[in-house]
Structures are given as structure tokens and as C-alpha cells.
Amino acid sequence: MKLFPKLALAVSALLLATTLCLCTAFYVTQQHAIEQQADLERRAVLQNLVHITQESFLTNDDLLLIKYTGWLQKWIPGLVSASVTAPSGDVLAHSEPTRIGKNAALQESSPTEVLVLSEPVRMGSHWIGNASAGFSQRYYADLIHVRLRHLQKRLLEIAGGALAVGVLLSFGLALSWTKPVGLLAAAANRIGQGKYDFDLALIERRTDELGFLSKAFENMAAQLRELEQMKEDFVSAVTHELRSPLGAIESYLNLIGTEMHEGIPAEVWATYLERLRLNTQRLTRFVNDLLDVAALERGKITLSQQPVNLGILAQDVLAFFEPRMREKNLRSEVQLGNLRSLGFGDPDKIRQVLVNLLSNAIKFTPETGLIQILMKEIPAQHVICVSVKDSGIGISEADQMKIFSKFEQVNSARQSIKGPKGTGLGLSISRALVELHGGAMGVESKEGEGSRFYFTLPIYVTARESMAITATKH
Ligand code: ADP
């Protein structure tokens, strides 16, 4: 049996049982109340007779009492007889006038179907007689029966209505629980098939556990989608980055193989070997990048931090790129600004970051452009900010968000460059390395005007300075 009918039937059965219990309990208490009410009504009639008897005694008006007993029988339904007897037993007043003046003890007793209620009438401590009222048992049994029938009818109507509304609500409730479960199951199925085109917006709006579940489900799907995308990017990047240098190496080896017998001139050898070297380098770099990403993700990279002269390091990296910059006729400069302190970090890793930023700057800056490395010390934050600024093609705002993710490359930028296109791993590795140092990395850029990539590193503080800083903080 499916969850929906199961749930709907269970809730309806529960509702039916509750309604039955409530109705039975209510009926029993009401039945008791109706019987009590009939008794109270009879006692009220007798009480009135007692009062009128006392009044007629005070005013010495026997006629009032006689009239009242007659009136009672006429107007009180179910009253068979009403009488007042003196202490001697003589009837003072009776609803049947023929009995007045006779002795009550000598008169025939009331039939069994008549319920007789009597009460002594007193004036202070003086007993002046007895008041009695006879009521038809059948009349009151019928009256109670009619009232109970009326109650049953009302109860049936109310319970029926409540039950109908309850059953409708229980179906609605069951539907509102089982439908989202069905949607989630269908969505899970689609994810299983590698499809992410499902819509859980309807459930997400809910503020109960099902809403939370669907949000968690959406998050999970988004992460899976991202993973899937990453896997695809990874496979295509790896395929491309492995295939093209390997293809080039294979072609040059084939060329060397065929041309060897004919004798290859020395300068051609040099070209072939340089191409082989460049492609092998490209392969090595890519494999190293992949290994770096994996190590960073598993937290396997450890830093060997020490004081670093960032100015010297920057000059050094710039010198390494000098030949490439000359090839493109690019100008370069290092500005140390207010830099007085040493940075604190792993020199190899900082070099790796600078190499990546500079190689990007050179790659994406057209000929005769300017590339600058700018330093700025920010004492208040105890950091040094290093920027690599270029006058290159720039990056759109939307792309600035993406380029720090793995394998992300801007398509238009990729088309605009000659030679190796890169892998889209450099910035993600750089950012992770900077963050490992406790710093941050970012970019400011305008399309067509250039970019400034910057990162911060902690300032090296000696033990004495560190104590002084702690003291000023306290
Ligand atoms: P790679 O350079 O190997 O493609 P990166 O992660 O270093 O990978 O860079 C990612 C992308 O960011 C580049 O493909 C390029 O589109 C963009 N980018 C990086 N640096 C610059 C820059 N200085 N100017 C313009 N675009 C840049």
C-alpha cells in the first residue's frame, strides 16, 4: 500500500475514534444532566407550592392556596395532582376540589405511575402542614426521551460534519506530506541518472522539516552538479594538456627518426631539441600543478616559514621572466613603496605565487605593455600587500568571480593568446598557498585597461616586537 492512502486512512481512523470517544463521553454526561434537570423542575414546582402555602397561612387566605393548586394542575404539564394537608391530615387545598376538607389518610393512594414528592411546610419552627405534588412518570420518561433524541440528533450532525471536515483535512495533510516525498524521490532518481533539471521550489518554501530536507537536497544536488562539472572540466583539461605536448613530442621524435639517415643540420637539431624540451616542461608543469592541487586539497602541503625579503624575491622573479618580456617588448618595474619590513612565509611557495601572477600578466598583456610589481606595508594589519599590475586585456566583473576556481579560464582571453593556453589551475593554487600563509588574494580589473592581482602576507616580527605588540593590545 502506498504512503498516501496509508497516511490518509490512519489519520481518518484516528479522527473517527477520537470523535466517537468524545461524543460518547458528552452523551453520557448530558443524559445525566437532562435527568437532573427534570428532577429540578419537579422540585421547583413543589417549592413554589410550599411558598404559596406559607403566604396563604400568613395572609390567612385559604382561597389563594386552593386556586393555586388548581392553577398548577392546569398549567404545569406532567403534574397529576397538587395538594396541601394540615398537620391533622385534613386536606387544605387540592387540585381536585372534591378532596378538600377530607382526611388525606382515608383517601385512596396514588397510582404507581405517579411520582409523589412531599415536603413539610414550616413557619419558623412551627409545622403548618405538608405540600405534595404528584408527577406523571410516563410524562417525564417521554420528556427525557425526547430531549435525549434531540441531543443525539445534534451530536450526530456535529460529529458527522467534524468527521467529514476531518477526513478532508487528513487527505489534504497526507497529500501535503506525501507529495513532497514523491517529488524528492523523483529528483533523487533524476540525479541518479545524472540529470539535474528538477524543480523543488514548491517544497523549499515550506518552513517544516520537509522544507529543510529539500533545501539540503538542492545543496547536495548543486554540489554534485559542481563535482560533475569539475570532473568534465578536469577530464577535458587533462586530455587537452596531456594530448597536445605528447602529440608534439611524438611528431618531433618521428621527424628525427625519418630525417636522421639524411643527416640533420646542427641548427635544426637545436630547434627540435628545444621544442622537445619545451613540451616536456609543459607536461611536467601540468603534472606538478595537478599534484599541488591534490596536495592542497588534502591539506598535505606544509610551509617552511622564515623571514623573506619580498623586494629581492620580486626582482629575482622578474629577472627570470626578462627574456620572455623582451620577446614581447614589455616594460617592467618593481616599486617597493613604504616597504621596510620582511615578510614571513615559505620563500618557495611565495615565489610560485609570484611566478604564476607574472606569467599570467605577461601572457595577457599585448606588446609594449607595462608590468609592475608593487609593494605596500600595512602596519595596522601587520601585513605586506604585493600586487602584480599589468596593462593587459583585463577581466570582466563576472569572470573575476570565477577565475580563482579550478580549471576556470576566460574563453575570450584563451583565444587571444598565442602558444600554450594554460590549464586554469595557477590562480586556484596561488590563492590556496596565500591562504595557507594566513593571507588573502584578490583582483581588480577593467576590461581593455589591465588587471591588478594582489595578495597579502604577514610581516615578520621579532620576538621582542611580538611582545611589544601583545603589550599594546592589552
Ligand atoms: P591559466 O593561466 O593557466 O589559464 P590561471 O588560474 O592562472 O590559469 O588563470 C585563470 C584565467 O584567469 C586565465 O585563463 C585568464 O583567462 C584569466 N587571467 C589570469 N590572469 C590574467 C591577467 N593578468 N589578465 C587577464 N586575464 C587573466
C-alpha 424 to ligand 1 mean position (Å): 7
Going by their DSSP bridges, the two strands 331-335 and 370-378 should be labelled as: parallel
* Mutation to probe ligand 1, out of 233, 325, 357, 360 (largest number of atoms < 8 A from CB): 360
C-alpha 360 to ligand 1 mean position (Å): 6
Which band of pLDDT confidence, cut at 50, 70 and 90, is reported for residue 472?
Answer: low
Q: Reply yes or no on whether the pLDDT at 469 is more than 80.
A: no
Rounded Cα distance, 174 and 379, in Å: 64
Report the nearest atom of ligand 1 relative to the CA of 404. 6
Mean pLDDT (the chain) is 90
Residue closest by Cα to atom 11 of ligand 1: 409
* Mutation to probe ligand 1, out of 357, 409, 428 (largest number of atoms < 8 A from CB): 409
Phi and psi at 207, nearest 5°, equal -105, 10
C-alpha 281 to ligand 1 mean position (Å): 19
In this structure, which long-range contacts are made by residues 397-403, counting pairs with CB atoms below 8 Å and at least 24 apart in sequence?
400/443, 400/445, 403/427, 403/443
Using the 8-state DSSP alphabet, how is residue 208 labeled? S
C-alpha 439 to ligand 1 mean position (Å): 20
Could you report the per-residue pLDDT of 269-322, keeping only the tens digit for each? 899 999 999 999 989 988 998 899 889 988 989 999 999 999 999 999 999 999
C-alpha 352 to ligand 1 mean position (Å): 15
The whole-number pLDDT of residue 93 equals 94
Phi and psi at 332, nearest 5°, equal -145, 155
The whole-number pLDDT of residue 336 equals 95
Which band of pLDDT confidence, cut at 50, 70 and 90, is reported for residue 407?
Answer: confident
Assess contact for 163 and 19: CB atoms under 8 A.
Answer: yes
C-alpha 178 to ligand 1 mean position (Å): 49
Higher pLDDT, 333 or 243: 333
Using the 8-state DSSP alphabet, how is residue 106 labeled? G
Rounded Cα distance, 414 and 410, in Å: 6
Look at residues 219, 291, 234, 244 and name the one whose alpha carbon lies nearest to residue 406: 234
- 109 grid coordinates: 393512594
Could you report the per-residue pLDDT of 160-210, keeping only the tens digit for each? 999 899 889 988 888 888 888 888 888 899 888 888 888 887 787 888 888
Using the 8-state DSSP alphabet, how is residue 342 labeled? P
The whole-number pLDDT of residue 207 equals 85
Rounded Cα distance, 340 and 101, in Å: 135
Report the nearest atom of ligand 1 relative to the CA of 423. 3
Rounded Cα distance, 188 and 198, in Å: 9
Residue closest by Cα to atom 7 of ligand 1: 426
Could you report the per-residue pLDDT of 2-52, keeping only the tens digit for each? 778 888 888 889 989 999 999 999 999 999 999 999 999 999 999 999 999
DSSP labels, 221-280: HHHHHHHHHHHHHHHHHHHHHHHHHHHHHHHHHHHHHHHTTT---HHHHHHHHHHHHHHH
Q: Which residues, 6+ apart, have CB-to-CB distance to 356 below 8 Å?
A: 426, 427, 429, 430
The whole-number pLDDT of residue 140 equals 92
Could you report the per-residue pLDDT of 52-79, keeping only the tens digit for each? 999 999 999 989 999 999 999 899 999 9
Rounded Cα distance, 85 and 125, in Å: 18
Higher pLDDT, 261 or 250: 250
The whole-number pLDDT of residue 310 equals 96
C-alpha 372 to ligand 1 mean position (Å): 17
The whole-number pLDDT of residue 456 equals 98
Rounded Cα distance, 302 and 115, in Å: 105
Could you report the per-residue pLDDT of 109-160, keeping only the tens digit for each? 666 689 999 999 999 889 999 999 999 999 999 999 999 999 999 999 999 9
Is residue 372 classed as helix, strand or coil in its secondary structure? Answer: strand
Rounded Cα distance, 455 and 358, in Å: 13
Residue closest by Cα to atom 16 of ligand 1: 410
Q: What is the mean pLDDT of residues 412-433?
A: 83
The whole-number pLDDT of residue 107 equals 65
Residue closest by Cα to atom 13 of ligand 1: 409
Rounded Cα distance, 309 and 352, in Å: 15
For the chain, the farthest-separated pair of C-alpha atoms sits apart, in whole angstroms, at 164
The HSE-up count of residue 53 (CA atoms within 13 Å, CB side) is 28
The whole-number pLDDT of residue 239 equals 83
Tally of residues, the chain: 474
The HSE-up count of residue 372 (CA atoms within 13 Å, CB side) is 13
Assess contact for 80 and 136: CB atoms under 8 A.
Answer: yes
Which band of pLDDT confidence, cut at 50, 70 and 90, is reported for residue 473?
Answer: low
The whole-number pLDDT of residue 130 equals 95
Beta bridge partners of 455: 386, 441
The whole-number pLDDT of residue 110 equals 63
Q: How crowded is residue 369: how many other Cβ atoms within 10 Å of its Cβ?
A: 20
pTM surpassing 0.85?
A: no
% pLDDT > 70, the chain: 96
Q: Which residues form the pocket of ligand 1, taking CB atoms under 6 Å from any ligand atom?
A: 356, 360-361, 364, 390, 392-393, 395, 403, 408-410, 413-414, 422-428, 451
Could you report the per-residue pLDDT of 423-464, keeping only the tens digit for each? 788 999 999 999 999 999 999 999 999 999 999 999 998 766
Residue closest by Cα to atom 9 of ligand 1: 424
C-alpha 426 to ligand 1 mean position (Å): 8
Look at residues 386, 364, 355, 365 and name the one whose alpha carbon lies nearest to residue 289: 355
Residue with grid cell 580563482, as numbered in its chain: 404
C-alpha 302 to ligand 1 mean position (Å): 26
* Mutation to probe ligand 1, out of 356, 427, 453 (largest number of atoms < 8 A from CB): 427
* Mutation to probe ligand 1, out of 330, 396, 401, 403 (largest number of atoms < 8 A from CB): 403
Report the nearest atom of ligand 1 relative to the CA of 429. 6
Q: Which residues, 6+ apart, have CB-to-CB distance to 457 below 8 Å?
A: 308, 310, 343, 344, 345, 350, 383, 384, 386, 434, 437, 439
The whole-number pLDDT of residue 474 equals 61
C-alpha 425 to ligand 1 mean position (Å): 9
Look at residues 388, 369, 459 and name the one whose alpha carbon lies nearest to residue 430: 388
Residue closest by Cα to atom 8 of ligand 1: 424
- 399 grid coordinates: 569572470
Residue closest by Cα to atom 14 of ligand 1: 409
C-alpha 403 to ligand 1 mean position (Å): 7
Give the H or E element holding residue 378. strand 370-378
Phi and psi at 386, nearest 5°, equal -110, 130
